[in-house]
Copies of this chain bind each other. A is one copy, B any other.
Amino acid sequence: MARGVMRLAVAFVAVLAVARVASAVDPLPSWNDGPAKQAILRFVADVTEPEGPRFVPVEERIAVFDNDGTLIAEQPLFFQFYFFLQRIRELAPLHPEWKEKQPFKAVLENDLAYLDSISRDELGEIVLRAASGVTEREYVASVERFLAEVEHPDRGVPFTRLVYQPMIELVTYLREKGFRVYIVSAAAPELIRAFSEKVFGIPREQVIGSDMQMRFDDSGERPELWREPAFVRPINERAGKPINIDRAVGRSPILAFGNSDGDIEMLSFTAYSGRPKLALLLHHDDAEREYGYEDGTQEALAVAKERGWIVVSMKESFRRVFPPEKRK
């Protein structure tokens, strides 16, 4: 027994020692030192200091991240869009009329010029058709096939390799500090749930997206959920984001990270509780390593300036952009 106790003690002390070393290690090695990194580290230190004036109890440590352009590259098009294009092609034999009907014609002919300037309504029509008329079970399986098989058109790697390494580190750091981290995206939640656990350690139930209406069918051997061609309202962008966060979480976030006009209301929502808050906006100013663009972000950049949100320059703040290649 005494020897057993001694072994346990040694193991226990070893664990403590590792923990102590780990806490001295930079939790955000892919972030350059600068105002963004300092603001994040200071905020997290403040809200987790039990004796401090800015302490936030662990149950209220909710962080929300937009997906496309915040956690993962969204150029030349949202990666979800490529999935919907693939679904339209798969479904085309059932819809011969699509050969002559826009926007389906452009999808089937791979008319990139047309698709690049596609209207919001046409995009909605593609998404509705691509995402409905099947069971949830089949839909989830087709998402998994897509992520395993299809590669990014410019870069020739799976889409999920285009997550930002600094964001993996930030999400991991927040989770270690007791935050529940949610992904809050206008996209279908199934598309994000397929990789959020593996890549970010974010469980499926912490993904909020734009849901389709469903029909429950209990007539067969096992129950099925059928996807109907209509969105649950509100769609999860702009003001829909705070509404759906409140619905899913029953709390408001104290930290929010976005990158476009669609995230303005979610970033504002950090002011709801009166707790200390941190609102961050990623600025895509790194044409060399990622993509340089401001389309769809001008309003957010203006509001950020007005309200003191932190604009995170990718060029200046990210030491590296994408995760290192895995050795085989």
Contact = CB atoms under 8 A, between A and B. Distances in A.
A193 interface: yes
B214 A243 contact: yes
Contact of A272 (B12, B215, B222, B269): B222
Nearest to A1: B13
Interface stretch (A41-49, A91-99, A159-167, A199-207): A199-207
A114 B271 CA distance: 45
B204 A250 contact: yes
Interface in A241-258: 242-243, 246-251
A274 B204 contact: no
Contact of A205 (B190, B207, B251, B274): B251
Contact of A216 (B180, B239, B250): B239
Nearest to A218: B268
Contacts of A197: 59
A107 B150 CA distance: 60
A106 to B, nearest CB: 31
A250 B18 CA distance: 36
A290 interface: no
- SS class, residues of chain A in contact with chain B: helix
A8 interface: yes
B251 A223 contact: no
Interface string A203-221: 1110100010111101000
A218 B243 CA distance: 12
Q: How many A residues touch the partner, as a band?
A: 35 or more
A200 to B, nearest CB: 14
A97 B184 CA distance: 43
A103 B320 CA distance: 64
A262 interface: no
Contacts of A265: 216, 218, 223
A35 B197 CA distance: 37
A223 B245 CA distance: 14
Contact of A223 (B214, B218, B272): B272
Given A189-B250, A216-B239, A250-B190, A271 B232 contact: no
A6 interface: yes
B222 A274 contact: yes
A169 to B, nearest CB: 22
B239 A193 contact: no
A247 B180 CA distance: 18
A136 interface: yes
Contacts of A180: 205
Contact of A251 (B204, B225, B243): B204
Given A5-B13, A204-B250, A223-B271, 9 more contacts: A9-B9, A204-B249, A204-B251, A211-B247, A216-B242, A216-B269, A223-B265, A232-B232, A248-B248
Interface of A: 5-6, 8-10, 12-13, 59, 136, 180, 189-190, 193, 197, 203-205, 207, 211, 213-216, 218, 222-223, 225, 232-234, 239, 242-243, 246-251, 265, 268-269, 271-272, 274
Q: Across the A-B interface, give the 5 residue pairs with the lowest CB-CB distance, nearest first.
A: A9-B9, A204-B250, A216-B239, A214-B243, A205-B249
